[in-house]
Structure 1
């Protein structure tokens, strides 16, 4: 293994570069499936649309594991892949989302680096290091940390948020809509997002359809708003982000919030602040205007089935503009390149 200095930002950018093709393949497959089979394509077994949808779902399930494995690989090279995959998979199982995947990938990389540096075997046993010692110890350490230290707080957070939202059910509609929307735009598929979905789906089963519309608009705004920001402020984004925005647009229309993950992984604070702002506005407007949806997913394809489709579209446009404006204002004038990050965010870790 070569001797090099490790940059957290560079590791995140490596993770994103490996993750983007997975997101694009999965998101566009799901979009094509819904075009062919409608919003309910997931239940149309035996059709071409159903099969393509299955392919898309399979691809999307690898997003966080690939992100974590690539981050670990950028730190520890090939030995980091196995524990990185373990960390990413466990992150999906405990509903920690892409933020958990980032943490797990960094942890896996540094654990492997520490094993290589501090565990020394006799020369006759050196061959066991890459095939037994490193993958076994690193996977155990990373896995236990993810399950024992990350899992319980995530579960407690979900329970608390669900209880809080339930207590707000009888309050202001706009407030409830803004909370649902903000949660959808916060961790983009993580525990907070999933809790909002669970809450809205539970009310849908009881015949309360407003929260579902807020959930839908809150999940569609982030990728649409980020893509719009790239369009109006191209010089603030890298060429790779320009390409990611092209995929984010159709994914947003299909209610695939993961289209914004390539941006959130490398610049989480600015992106999450902007997506929360736009999704909160969109969710508040749908509830304020009495928009209802009896269908829990499907993106743009189910808008005609809503009671007020044009009001939903207006809330979607306004929320996307809010996200785009906030993100454009927060973004630095010049995109941060790999070379610049290596100079500003270096960690003095030598790997031999």
Structure 2
């Protein structure tokens, strides 16, 4: 396995552990905010929903420790867990944020591997290596380096990034939203979408909620767009394509965009281009309107937890209409009901093929 593949595998392990924490914490927070607004943070002990909100708030504070510990675990097994957790709290303490936690996790993981390979101890002490010696030395060395050398530049970068994001107005907000949205609409859950998702999730941890709403909206646009296109120009889709669109729409309600891949592979130029155009426009408008969301996944079911649920739903529909009209006008009519072999595959097989080609 190559270096990039190894890094990606470890990072995806961390994200897979992180997502349930973000979803649980984010939903609990969002329930409180949806009822009382952001002022719920000042209502300590005054209402039952404050306790619900506070549970979510505390849960969100665990997001970076979880991803850090799980990445370190993925790299170095159990000896990496304790140093990973501690280094994350160091990253949080110096305001290095989500990115700092990831950097700390990789530093811890590979330092543990270094110690496993090169640190020699008497046979009588080998049992202490995974529970005492390695965690202690790793925390000592990596903690010192992160406090004094590595963490500070990351903290400065995070502060600069957050300041830029908070100061964005008008066209600059539209541009950032369009970039995130276009990435989410390009490969339907592939590497580019995951990069945009990671960026948005990281900002969510740092209490910037707009990019998360952009991600959620634009990940739901392609299935809606394909469905609208099929309704507008049914004669341009074969029977199997129409069945695939039904499946994609159902999956899309839960923000699973991989159901669009068979359609995209059958007509990549038209489907991908119309998707990117629609998601870029929708992402820009979504961010400009100040729509926020506090949960990383859930599709249509978490729209009511947005700060502007009606506008958020409208953005999904707007993006779907844009994509649907472009595709309905551009797509060529079906000439033969005999179809390409790809569309005889089920969605899962098509996803595998698409990921292999990437």
TM-score w.r.t. length of structure 1: 0.56
Alignment RMSD (CA, Å): 4.9
The alignment covers a number of residue pairs equal to: 260
Per-residue CA distance 1:32-88 (angstroms, 9 max, x = gap): 323454443222222111001111111111111111111111221111111111233
Q: Which residue of 1 aligns with 2:218?
A: 225
Written as runs of structure 1 = structure 2, the 5 A alignment for 1:102-113 is 102-113=102-113
Contact 1:282 1:318 in 2 (8 A): no
Q: Which of 156, 173, 180 is 1:177 aligned to?
A: 173
Q: Which residue of 2 aligns with 1:26?
A: 25
Contact 2:225 2:320 in 1 (8 A): no
Partner Cα separation in structure 2 for residue 89 and residue 321 of structure 1? 45
Contact 1:16 1:67 in 2 (8 A): yes
**3-state DSSP of counterpart to 1:188:** helix
Partner Cα separation in structure 2 for residue 14 and residue 174 of structure 1? 37
Moved more, 88-97 or 130-139: 88-97
**What 5-or-longer segments of structure 1 have no aligned partner?**
1-5, 198-214, 236-241, 249-272, 324-332, 345-352
Partner Cα separation in structure 2 for residue 16 and residue 64 of structure 1? 10
Written as runs of structure 1 = structure 2, the 5 A alignment for 1:39-188 is 39-46=38-45, 47-158=47-158, 160=160, 174-178=170-174, 187-188=199-200
Q: By how many angstroms is 1:122 displaced? A: 0.7
**3-state DSSP of counterpart to 1:126:** helix
Q: By how many angstroms is 1:179 displaced? A: 6.4
Per-residue CA distance 1:300-321 (angstroms, 9 max, x = gap): 66549xxxx86x8766866899
Contact 1:69 1:105 in 2 (8 A): yes
Q: Which residue of 1 aligns with 2:343?
A: none
Per-residue CA distance 1:167-225 (angstroms, 9 max, x = gap): x88xxx5334336758997833657995xx7xxxxxxxxxxxxxxxxx76444212332
Partner Cα separation in structure 1 for residue 353 and residue 90 of structure 2? 31
Q: By how many angstroms is 1:89 displaced? A: 2.6
Q: 1:191 to 1:9 in 2, by over 3 A?
A: closer
Contact 1:97 1:188 in 2 (8 A): no
Q: By how many angstroms is 1:227 displaced? A: 4.5
Q: 1:34 to 1:102 in 2, by over 3 A?
A: same
TM-score w.r.t. length of structure 2: 0.55
Q: Which residue of 2 aligns with 1:7?
A: 6
Contact 1:39 1:302 in 2 (8 A): no
**3-state DSSP of counterpart to 1:65:** helix
**3-state DSSP of counterpart to 2:138:** helix
Q: Which residue of 2 aligns with 1:334?
A: 351
Give the number of the structure with larger relative contact order, counting CA–CA contacts within 8 Å between residues 6 or more apart.
1
Q: By how many angstroms is 1:114 displaced? A: 1.0
Q: 1:65 to 1:302 in 2, by over 3 A?
A: closer
Q: 1:230 to 1:77 in 2, by over 3 A?
A: farther
Q: By how many angstroms is 1:142 displaced? A: 2.4
Contact 2:96 2:155 in 1 (8 A): no
Partner Cα separation in structure 1 for residue 14 and residue 291 of structure 2? 38
Contact 1:68 1:88 in 2 (8 A): yes
Partner Cα separation in structure 2 for residue 72 and residue 158 of structure 1? 22
Q: Which residue of 2 aligns with 1:263?
A: none
Partner Cα separation in structure 2 for residue 73 and residue 292 of structure 1? 36
